[in-house]
Structure 1
Amino acid sequence: MQLFPGSRFPGPGPRLYAGVDEAGRGPLAGPVAVAAVVFDPARTRINGLDDSKQLTAARRETLYARIVERALAWQVVLIEAEEIDRLNIYQATMLGMRRAVEGVAHVAGFARIDGNRVPKGLPCAAEALVGGDARDRAIMAASIVAKVTRDRIMQRLHDEHPHYGFDLHKGYATPAHLAALAAHGPCIHHRRSFAPVRMALESRDPGPGTRVPEQQLVA
């Protein structure tokens, strides 16, 4: 656990803190989503919270609705593929966490972040909590909000590019996704800095001076 300087729950009033987690660091396509959730300790607890990976899609949707209705504050930040490629996935995730915390800093004086790193430049004190998505209720909620938000986006991307199967694998490197990459090449939502996407792009590059047929360029 990493603790930044300052008291654990700085500032006057109730002990309000933001739980922070991400969804979508590993996929080859789509954004990484980062959520921050602040619960009001005076309100009734939400039953059934857990790490989003341990829940069914239907259960996540149900809990998502309860979280956004009962949370004192919540924020979701999306870092798109282009920015991921420019920064790298680690720095993009740190940026998303910082922006998410900034979105709830008017309410929370502290942030508890899933993982073993705290982003630089946060507007409040923070700690990193390894396995936090299974140990802390606010982080569990953030993991659910981030996952549901991202899954909905991947469904929309599937509607735009149905041949990749984003609705099924959510951009992860499944055999079906890799086969679609080989057949169609990457689209604008693929992360070109990720090796399988880069390899698929290079395998379709005919070299300098050769015109690429329009059907090989997926927008």
Structure 2
Amino acid sequence: MKIAGVDEAGRGPLVGSVVAAAVILDPNNPIEGLNDSKKLTEKKREKLFVEIQEKALAWSIAEATHEEIDQLNILQATFLAMRRAVAGLSIQPDKVLVDGNQIPKGLTIDCEAIVGGDATHAEISAASILAKVTRDRQMLLLDQEYPQYAFAKHKGYPTKAHFDAIAEFGVIEQHRRSYKPVKKALGLE
């Protein structure tokens, strides 16, 4: 049975896309060290990112943009990114394991939601790593464009440094306008 693990990165940040990944691992080509991406160092995640792409039977990375997040809400945008990731797999899985307590509506494949699955199921761990590394790389690119916001440090999360940058420099196009701190900065709250 081909099992795809699915996870996302970037639900909490105030800026950018939410990224999801789907991975079908090859049981004959195991990957050592898979774990919840948040429990791994950046260096280890980067190494595993390459290894997952080389050894997995299939993998796919997809996203929902900041505009889609504002239009749909973060939960529905996350589900959209997850559906896109599963649809992007080159092999159709028999079952999908999703990290969390909800299954993306609209998936026609047998699905199971697993709370903490990114730490207990290798397929979800692999998806978690692909999603987090991709999302972090997006923030590094945004940091090059807007260095005054320090996106490389806080990755768009609602930190004091991020709030201070918004207060000083304002909201950029990539900020999620449906999020309370951004609404407040725009005077819409």
Q: TM-score, normalised by structure 2?
A: 0.96
Q: 2:20 aligns with which of 34, 37, 40?
A: 34
Question: 1:91 — aligned with what?
Answer: 76
Deviating 4+ runs (over 2 angstroms): none
What pairs with 1:67-216 in structure 2 (closer than 5 Å)?
A: 67-104=52-89, 106-202=91-187
1:122 and 1:107 map into 2 onto residues whose CA distance is 12
Cα shift readout 1:44-78 (whole Å, capped 9, x = no counterpart): x1111110000111110011110010011101111
Cα shift readout 1:140-169 (whole Å, capped 9, x = no counterpart): 000000000010011001111111111110
Structure 1: runs of 5 or more not aligned: 1-14, 204-219
1:177 and 1:198 map into 2 onto residues whose CA distance is 14
Q: Measure how far apart 1:42 and its partner are.
A: 2.0
1:80 and 1:185 map into 2 onto residues whose CA distance is 20
Q: Measure how far apart 1:107 and its partner are.
A: 3.2
> Size of the alignment, in residue pairs?
189
Amino acid at match of 2:112: E
Indicate yes or no: 2:1 matched with 1:23: no
Change (3 A) 1:116 1:105: farther
Q: Alignment partner of 2:97: what SS? A: strand
1:73 and 1:106 map into 2 onto residues whose CA distance is 6
Indicate yes or no: 2:47 matched with 1:62: yes
* Larger-gyration structure (1/2): 1
Q: Is the 8 A contact 1:118 1:128 kept in 2?
A: yes
Q: Is the 8 A contact 1:105 1:123 kept in 2?
A: no
C-alpha RMSD over aligned residues = 1.4
Question: 1:10 — aligned with what?
Answer: none
Cα shift readout 1:100-149 (whole Å, capped 9, x = no counterpart): 11112733121000011111111311111111001100000000000000
1:198 and 1:118 map into 2 onto residues whose CA distance is 29
Q: TM-score, normalised by structure 1?
A: 0.84
